[in-house]
Amino acid sequence: MYSKGRVSLDGKDVRNIWSGKVHLECKGTQIPVLIDQVVKESIRIENVFWLDEHRINVVVYIRDFFRFIKWCRHHEIRAKIIKKQGVPFLWKEIKKRKMFGIGFVLFFILLLCMTSMIWRVEVEGTNARAIHDIRMQLQKQGVYFGQLKMRLPAPSLVQQELLAVFPELSWVGFRVEGTRIIVTVVEKKRAEIHKSEYPSYGPVHLISRKNALIIDVRAEKGNPLVDVNDMVKAGQILISGVYGDPTGESGPVVGARGAVLGEVWYESSVVVPMIQKRQVFTGARTSSRSIHIGNMIFHNPFRGSASFSHYKVFHRFHYLHVGNWKLPLGWVEEEYAESRYISRRLASSEATRLGTELCRKSVLQSISANGRIEEEKILQRIIKNDKVYLKVHFDAIENIAMPQPILRGEKPRGEND
C-alpha cells in the first residue's frame, strides 16, 4: 500500500526537490489509456490536466522520462517538453555557463578569504610616536595587515606581551571587530614628573622645586648661587647657567648641571579605622556544572542551591571547538566557596603604626627617586569613633633641583621669588 505520509496535501512530494521534473504536453487520442498504463508501470506522474480536447499537461520525473516517452510512442501520442524544473537542470544550466558559475563560486571564496584577513590595525589612546612603536611590536607578535584571523595570537597573550614591552602602559585592550583590530592602550598617569631626574643639558638654570633647607650643593657645571644651610623657596635659582653676572642678564651661557640636596618638610594626614572587616573563606566548597551560550548560563533548575549564607562564585568557562573555531557555547564549572566576614579590632598602637606606614608610603611616592626620609614625627593623634586620626610630619632629603630654560630678554618664571 502506498504510504500516505509521503504526499503533502497538494500532491507535491517534498522529498523530491532534488530530482528534476519535466513538464510535458501530450497530444493524442488514447490519453486515458496512456495514463492508466504508465501508472501501472509505476511511473510517477503529477499535475495531469487537459489543456483542450486532445492535449494534456503532465509532469514526469527525470528518471521515468524515457520510459514515459516509450509508452507515448506505443500509444501514438506526441509529447513536447514545455518546461524543465529542478536542481539537475539548474546544474546543467550552470555547467553551460561555466565561467559564470566559476565566477560565482570564486566570489564566495574570495569573500571568505577577505573576511578572514586582518585589514586594519588601529591603535588608540596614545601619541603618534608611541603608536608606531606599538605597531612594530604588534607586527612582531603576528598582528599586522594581511594576517589571517585564524593565526592571530590570543588577545590575553598580546596584552600581556605589550604590557611587558612597554612599561609605561597601564592597560591594553585588544579586540577584533570584523576585519579590524583595535588595540586600546592606557598610559600610566604619573603623579608628578620629577624634572630633576631628567639630565639637564643645554642652556638651563637649575631652580628649586620646593621650599627647602639646602644640605648639599653638587654643581657640575654652572654658577651655584646658594650655599649649604640656606633656605630656598620654590622656583628660586639654585645653580645659574650664566657665568659671571648672577642676575643672568649678561655673561656667557654655559648651562647648569648638578644636584642640590635639600631638606623638605612634608605633612601627611590619614584616618585608620580600628575595626577592620574582611572576607575569608572557610574552606567549604561545592561545585556544579552548567551549560552556557554566549554570556548566558543555563542552570539546571532541579539542582539544589548552595547552602551557604555567604559565598563567592568562581566560574571556569570551557568552550566547544570546531577545528580552529571557538564556539560561543560550552560548559561552565561553578565553584561556590563559603566565606564569612571577620572583623578585627586593632589596638590604638597598632592602628597608629599602620597609619604612619601609610603616610610614609605616600610621602615616599611624592619625593624624587633618590630621596630618603630623615625623620618622622607624629604631630597629632586623635582617637574618635573607633578611628585613629593621624597627622605626621616628615623630614625628607632629596634632590630639589629642576632645570629651567634660560630666556634672554624676558624674565624667566620664578626669577622674582
Partner 1 sequence: MRKWISDLLYLPQDVTSGIPRIEMIGSHQVQVENYLGIEQFSSTEIKLKIKEGCMTIAGDDLKIKAIYPQFVAITGSIREVRYV
Q: Which of 19, 30, 45, 84 binds partner 1 (CB under 8 A)?
A: 45
Please give the grid coordinates belonging to residue 191. Answer: 603623579
Contact 101/95 with Cβ under 8 angstroms? yes
Interface with partner 1, residue 62, by CB under 8 A: no
Q: Which amino acid is at 252?
A: P
Look at residues 143, 101, 107, 97 and name the one whose alpha carbon lies nearest to residue 122.
Answer: 143
Which of 31/242 has CB closer to partner 1? 31
What's the Rg (C-alpha) of the chain? 43
Interface with partner 1, residue 193, by CB under 8 A: no
Contact 293/357 with Cβ under 8 angstroms? no
Q: Which of 5, 11, 294, 323 binds partner 1 (CB under 8 A)?
A: 11
Measured between alpha carbons, how far is 335 from 188 in angstroms, rounded to an integer?
A: 35
Which of 2/108 has CB closer to partner 1? 2
- Minimum distance between the CB of residue 3 and partner 1, rounded to whole angstroms? 9
- Minimum distance between the CB of residue 27 and partner 1, rounded to whole angstroms? 15
Which of 17/48 has CB closer to partner 1? 48
Q: Which amino acid is at 190?
A: R
Residue at grid coordinates 603576528: 142
Interface with partner 1, residue 13, by CB under 8 A: yes
- Minimum distance between the CB of residue 13 and partner 1, rounded to whole angstroms? 7
Which of 35/204 has CB closer to partner 1? 35
Q: Which of 47, 160, 269, 380 binds partner 1 (CB under 8 A)?
A: 47
Measured between alpha carbons, how far is 13 from 3 in angstroms, rounded to an integer?
A: 12
Question: What's the DSSP call for residue 309?
Answer: S
Q: Which of 22, 31, 60, 219 binds partner 1 (CB under 8 A)?
A: 31
Interface with partner 1, residue 40, by CB under 8 A: yes
- Minimum distance between the CB of residue 26 and partner 1, rounded to whole angstroms? 12
Instruction: Answer left, alpha or beta for residue 133, where phi above 0 means left and psi between -120 and 50 means alpha.
Output: alpha
Interface with partner 1, residue 36, by CB under 8 A: yes
Look at residues 168, 21, 134, 148 and name the one whose alpha carbon lies nearest to residue 86.
Answer: 21
Interface with partner 1, residue 46, by CB under 8 A: yes
Measured between alpha carbons, how far is 386 from 384 in angstroms, rounded to an integer?
A: 5
Interface with partner 1, residue 7, by CB under 8 A: yes
Please give the grid coordinates belonging to residue 78. Answer: 506526441
Q: Which amino acid is at 62?
A: I
Interface with partner 1, residue 14, by CB under 8 A: no
Q: Which of 5, 9, 167, 190 binds partner 1 (CB under 8 A)?
A: 9
- Minimum distance between the CB of residue 14 and partner 1, rounded to whole angstroms? 12
Span interacting with partner 1, options 6-14, 200-208, 349-357, 400-408, rule CB under 8 A: 6-14
User: Mind spelling out the 3-state secondary structure of 208-251?
Assistant: ECCCEEEEEEEEEECEECCCCCCEECCCCEEEECECCCCCCCCC
Which of 29/300 has CB closer to partner 1? 29
Q: Mask: binding to partner 1, 253-282, rule CB under 8 A, as x and -?
A: ------------------------------
Instruction: For residue 144, give the 3-state DSSP assignment.
Output: coil
Which of 58/400 has CB closer to partner 1? 58
Q: Which of 42, 295, 305, 309 binds partner 1 (CB under 8 A)?
A: 42
Helix (H) or strand (E) holding 331: strand 325-345
Residues in contact with partner 1 by CB under 8 A are: 1-2, 4, 7, 9-13, 31-32, 35-36, 39-40, 42, 44-50
